Structure 1
């Protein structure tokens, strides 16, 4: 039941946050492997990106990739939060004295996140492709021209097999390890701290909401560089063998170096504002489930 409720809660939040995810994806792909000032900036900031996409691609484009986004959220968070909840219920996240252990929470969050993200990697890759697709005048990154989620999965599977479907999965794991461990550990610590200060009544939904929003901010600050690398890695064009056509990159080195090449230090934080809004907006949808996994 924990797995089901966790997945459904994440899906509910995803319906409202998907437009922010579309904006974030395009801002992260903008200027890929190009030095600042050498490319046209179609999206100057989050709000300008919303207006530009709505004006050129139409308002419906702000919900591009919604189907794979919902499926990914159900798989990822169903497994991640459900597994973390089982670890919490089993007492594995507390010390022998009964106090909460941040280190154990971080480790459990990382392992739970890795399982969910790896299984859902093909869905996340297709989601990225669909959200990057745009009219030629505002297109950024490689354009795959998929017709939908099932068509994309079928096409990639037929052309490159299972290896092609899980392309970029290993390179995306650092993003999930950092993000999931930071979120679940920060949520637990913040909730315990707020409880000690007695700011909200015990077991109040306000307590869970405040802790979830604080953890969302922490997640973005920690995960932004890895998120940029992950988005670009998944969206790279491929050769005949289904491998990324990126010079001198491997799946793991891409996570560390892709955002830096040609974009200088600012590249690693591209789309951070959109990512912040995405995580903070998503918090109310997931906070009831997070509350249910905590003591």
Structure 2
């Protein structure tokens, strides 16, 4: 669970910070191995870069490389924070007297970081290639022409559903947990719940007794259900609409 929670939390943050990563990548590649003043500066500063990319490449370009970025964050932070969390919960970071050992803590953190960076490096390379892609008039650095999915592929819709699902499950899982427990609680003869008075009471009791992670129980199952559920719902809706219009003409 430590691995999953760490990875999903990092992915949630990545959805909002990836545009800054796109800007950072392009500004770092601008003027590569060229003396100042000998090249055209397409991006003068962060705000100008945002405006230029959105104007020339379109607003969607600010989320270029999001799919590998999410996978990278999930692997790197899942491994890094998850490994450190396991070491902490197993008691390795503490001495026999029960005090935190700075040496063990630093060594564990370094080892976990190296593992995460090593396994995530190939994905980071793909992410960088995709984020550097730009229209010719604002292109910087070498332009790789990777294409993850063919245009109009069902994989595009599935990937979009899985990416948007991160924000959805982070926002909705606590309410889903509360809803499940409200429906499942025992009742008295009048049908009144014996454990929770309502959704707010269920949320408060869960957070107070089980901690913040208790409110996110089942988040992995919720996430991997949401993406396929969304794409299948849209697929069946589209097919039924097609059949309806075909046979009602």
Shorter-normalised TM range: 0.5 to 0.7
**Pair 1:33 & 2:72 matched:** no
Name the CA distance, whole Å, in 1 between partners of 2:105 and 2:42.
41
Give the number of the structure with larger relative contact order, counting CA–CA contacts within 8 Å between residues 6 or more apart.
1
TM-score (norm 1): 0.48
Assess, with a 3 A threshold, how the Cα gap between structure 1 residues 74 and 43 changes in structure 2: closer, same or farther: same
Please state if 1:112 is matched with 2:96: no
Q: 1:95 to 1:58 in 2, by over 3 A?
A: same
Task: State whether residues 127 and 149 of structure 1, in contact with CA within 8 Å, keep that contact through their aligned partners in structure 2.
Answer: no
Secondary structure of 1:120's aligned partner: helix
Is 1:2 the counterpart of 2:2? The answer is: yes
Structure 2 counterparts to residues 139-288 of structure 1, below 5 A: 139-148=139-148
Contact 1:11 1:70 (8 Å CA) reproduced? yes
| TM-score, length of structure 2 as denominator length | 0.57
- Which one has a bigger Cα radius of gyration? 2
Counterpart for residue 76 of structure 2: 76
Structure 1 distance, partners of 2:25, 2:131, is: 7
Q: What residue ranges of structure 2 are gaps of 5+ in the alignment? A: 151-210, 213-249
Task: Compute the displacement of 1:131 (Å).
Answer: 0.3
Deviation at 1:104, TM superposition (A): 2.9
Q: Which runs of structure 2 are paired with 1:91-130 in the superposition (5 Å)?
A: 91-130=91-130
Asked if the contact 1:22/1:132 (under 8 Å) is kept, the reply is: yes
Q: 1:135 to 1:84 in 2, by over 3 A?
A: same
How far apart, CA to CA, are the structure 1 residues paired with 2:101 and 2:41? 45
Asked if the contact 1:76/1:116 (under 8 Å) is kept, the reply is yes
Q: CA deviation at 1:95?
A: 4.2
- Over aligned residues, Cα RMSD in angstroms? 2.0
In structure 2, the residue matched to 1:64 is 64
In structure 2, the CA distance between the partners of 1:112 and 1:37, relative to structure 1 (3 Å rule), is same
Is contact 1:130-1:148 (8 Å) kept? no
Deviation at 1:87, TM superposition (A): 1.3
Other structure's SS at 2:105 match: helix
Q: Distance in 2 between matches of 1:103 and 1:137?
A: 51
Does the 8 A contact of 1:67 with 1:149 survive in 2? no
Contact preservation (8 Å) 1:68, 1:149: no
Aligned to 1:262: none
Go from structure 1 to structure 2 and tell me whether the alpha carbon gap of 1:37 and 1:98 turns closer, same or farther (over 3 Å shift): farther
5+ residue gaps, structure 1, are 151-203, 206-295
